[in-house]
Structure 1
Amino acid sequence: MRDSFTLDEIDLAVINVMQIAPRATWKEVGKVLGISAATAARRWAALTTHGIAWVTAYPSLSVWSERHFLAFIEVDCEPSDRGCVVDALVEVPQVVSISQVASGRDLFLTLLVPDLQSLSRFTLDHISQLPGVRGTRTYTATHFYSEGSKWRLRALSPAQRGHLTRYAPSTPASAGGFPDACRDLLLHLSADGRRTIAELAELTATSVATTRRRLERLIRDGLVSLRCDISDSISGWPVCAHLWARVPPNDLDRIAQTLLTLPEIRMCAAITGTDNLLVVVWLRSLADSQRLESRLAERYPTLTLTERAIVMRTTKRMGHILDTAGRTTHTIPVNPWAELPSEPGGGG
């Protein structure tokens, strides 16, 4: 068990700056917060040492879902085998997130793969063959409206946020895919999105100039998401819930875009299936779930919530393995291009 750690206002502000500007220099962070660069760096070091906050990187989900396959997979397990199934899936680099949830499914996975063939192989030939798995249901994302990299603690003043406007995310590129030459760079950013250009150059065996140019391209073209995450148990938003909804197709974009103004929204995506909208929220308390649903019903009369599920435990979040308190312990870099696992028992 790690030592207890309590966040104060400066810690929350440092994290909020990292959410907006994950690679800002400590001088810039200190200037925004009115503290020294050394203090900002020291606070961040304490947060990362305790696994409370971290910066990671992965392919932009909005871009990936438009050009490749991003799938949500529900897995039903025998109760006694749930832990073994999680252990079998947590090391897979294409499985970017794993939640253990209540209400009608045991595990909820987020998967990034290049194509439909890869998705079929993984769901039909791997997951469904794992001992203890009773069934799966797969939904593909057709459009991403927002995801966790956009969620904010709201610990900064409007003036402080204004100083960080130049770090606003780029609009995703309209053409071209993820450059092959940049894959290694992304994998090393996954473990620590604040690694310096010099560190990344050494890790990828490229020059500093080439590394800087490649990283700037990924960020400029919106091909990579740099994300500051925080342990939900200490964030003040300890309850995570998944909401499934049906919205008239001609109303989907409007409702999804306005949902993003709600502070609880972590992720919002259009999906295939009977339900066409999936929303992930963070809540301050379990009672807030009912209050949020009432607010949604009042504000969006054409939106029908069909199902909701409380997350009991998040085991993996965007490549980071979490302990029972939601703190990161180590990383399995998100890698959609990795070789898929073989069938259990040694099949191809």
Structure 2
Amino acid sequence: MTNRTLDELDLKLLQALQLDGRAPFNRIAAVLGVSDQTVARRFRKLRATVGLRVLGMTDELRLGRSSWLVRMQCTPDAAEKLADALARRADTSYVALISGGTEVVCSMKPRNRADRDELLLDRLQRTPRVIGLNAYCILHRFYGDRLGWLGKASALTPAEESALRPGPVEPPPGTATVDAVDEVLLAALFHDGRATIAQLQSESGHSEDVVHRRLERLRAEGVLYYGVQYSPELMGHDVGAMLWLTVAPAALSTVGRALAGHREVEFAAASTGRVNIVAAVRCRGTEELYAYLTDRIGALDGVLMVESALILRQIKQLALSGVPSGGRAGY
């Protein structure tokens, strides 16, 4: 993965934070063979140059909640306003303008069926100048969530990666549950995944021991993980695109696993609908996107049709999934 503004140490730090967003700077420094001050300085630089943020993410599937990718066709004067309104909602994690600026794509996780129906069946259907809507329920993720795109950078050596990776998480069977205190902690970490224990104590009103125990439990149960938000354009990957694939049912799993292994893919999932795989990709330019579509996608057996749309502008980018457990706002 080449880039325009980042050197090898920057990429190593980004990948280290993708592995463990709350890793202390001194532990990262020890593994990378630099000083604590160097890591802190690089962290501040990345916040300024590529918009680095560490986010505490909630795995809504572990809480028994569904995830949706919604594609809306609008009149030319409406798309940007709709995208801005959707971005203000707490239950959306990704909002972008695509296809000449007349379409909006949005990743959303309604907390319950009533919230889902209120948005998909009522509010969006009645929104003026929305002339078409397709909603895809995510059935299975092949890549994304905990497996961030930075993991494909291969900046860290295997030994460095092993030293920085937190212990494995094997969530118990069934769905997890959270209470009001958990939701406060998840919401605080969503805004700043590296919030200090003192800050989390202040937010929750509970002791340091209680906060520690709850964070460990949420992680052990697979509810809480950490993601890294940044601007891939500033790393040389200027062209983003959404792909909608129609795949023969017998090839769905094979194609999905193949997509997960492609360096260009930052998200891929099986979905409901005639279009049964949705994916997001990043390339260094339109020629690279063309080569990817023809050489990589075109070589996959079972792919019957592909539609691609350039991502013109990302209004909200908190990864294609993962939202705070509590709260809603806006639209």
TM-score, reference length from structure 1? 0.85
Distance (Å, rounded) in 2 between the aligned partners of 1:209 and 1:258? 44
Q: How far did residue 249 of structure 1 move?
A: 2.4
1:148 and 1:266 in contact (8 A); partners too: no
How has the CA–CA distance of structure 1 residues 195 and 51 changed in structure 2, closer, same or farther, with 3 Å as cutoff? farther
Alignment of 1:289-308 (within 5 A): 289-297=289-297, 299-308=299-308
**CA apart distance, 1:303:** 2.0
Q: Distance in 2 between matches of 1:83 and 1:258?
A: 34
SS at match of 1:254: helix
Q: Does 1:8 align with 2:16?
A: no
Corresponding residue number in structure 2 for 1:208: 208
| Partner deviation per Cα, 1:122-166 (whole Å, 9 max, x = no partner) | 12222233333223211111112221542123222233223224x
Structure 2 partner of 1:325? none
- Any conservation in 1 of the 2:85–2:330 contact (CA below 8 Å)? no
Q: Is the Cα contact below 8 Å between 1:243 and 1:305 reproduced in 2?
A: no
Which among 64, 71, 74 is matched to residue 74 of structure 1?
Answer: 71
Q: C-alpha separation between the residues in 1 aligned to 2:69 and 2:288?
A: 25
Question: Are 2:22 and 2:194, in contact at CA under 8 Å, matched by a contact in 1?
Answer: yes
Q: Which residue number corresponds to residue 253 of structure 2?
A: 253
- Any conservation in 2 of the 1:185–1:204 contact (CA below 8 Å)? yes
Instruction: Tell me the distance in 2 between the aligned counterparts of 1:311 and 1:56.
Output: 23
Match 1:111 to one of 104, 108, 113 = 108
Question: Is the contact made by 2:90 and 2:328 (CA closer than 8 Å) also made in structure 1?
Answer: no
Alpha-carbon offset, residue 245 of structure 1: 1.3
1:201–1:51 distance in 2 versus 1, CA, 3 Å: farther
In structure 2, distance between residues paired with 1:140 and 1:206: 37
Between Structure 1 and Structure 2, how many residues are aligned?
A: 323
Cα 1:169–1:298, aligned 2, differ >3 Å: closer, same or farther?
A: farther
Corresponding residue to 2:327 among 323, 338, 347: 338
Instruction: Give the structure 1 partner of residue 21 of structure 2.
Output: 22
Q: Contact (CA 8 Å) 1:103, 1:308: kept in 2 or not?
A: no
RMSD of Structure 2 on Structure 1 (CA): 2.5
Question: Any conservation in 2 of the 1:68–1:115 contact (CA below 8 Å)?
Answer: yes
Which residue does the alignment assign to 2:125?
128
One-letter code aligned to 1:182: D
How big is the shift at 1:50? 4.8
* Residues 341, 158 of structure 1: alpha-carbon distance in 2 compared, 3 angstrom cutoff: closer
The residue type equivalent to 1:218 in the other structure is L
Structure 2 Cα separation of the partners of residues 104 and 299 of structure 1 = 30
Give secondary structure in 1 for the equivalent of 2:124: helix
Q: Could you tell me how far apart the structure 2 residues matched to 1:172 and 1:76 are?
A: 39
Deviation at 1:99, TM superposition (A): 0.8
CA 245–169 in structure 1, closer or farther in 2 if over 3 Å, else same: farther
Q: Deviations over 1:8-40 (max 9, x none)?
A: 332222112111221111111111211111210
Match of 1:87 among 60, 84, 88: 84
Separation in 1 of the partners of 2:141 and 2:203? 32
One of 59, 80, 98 as aligned partner of 2:95: 98
State the Cα deviation string for residues 257-316 of structure 1 (Å, max 9, x = none): 232221111111110000111111111221111211223345421123421111001110
Structure 1 unaligned residues grouped into runs of 5+: 321-332, 343-348
Contact map agreement 1:245 1:306 (CA 8 A) in 2: yes
Residues 1-348 of structure 1: pairs in structure 2 closer than 5 A? 6-50=5-49, 52-60=51-59, 62-63=61-62, 67-102=64-99, 106-147=103-144, 149-150=146-147, 151-152=149-150, 153-165=153-165, 167=166, 170-180=169-179, 181-297=181-297, 299-318=299-318, 334-335=323-324, 337-338=326-327
- Asked if the contact 1:96/1:111 (under 8 Å) is kept, the reply is yes
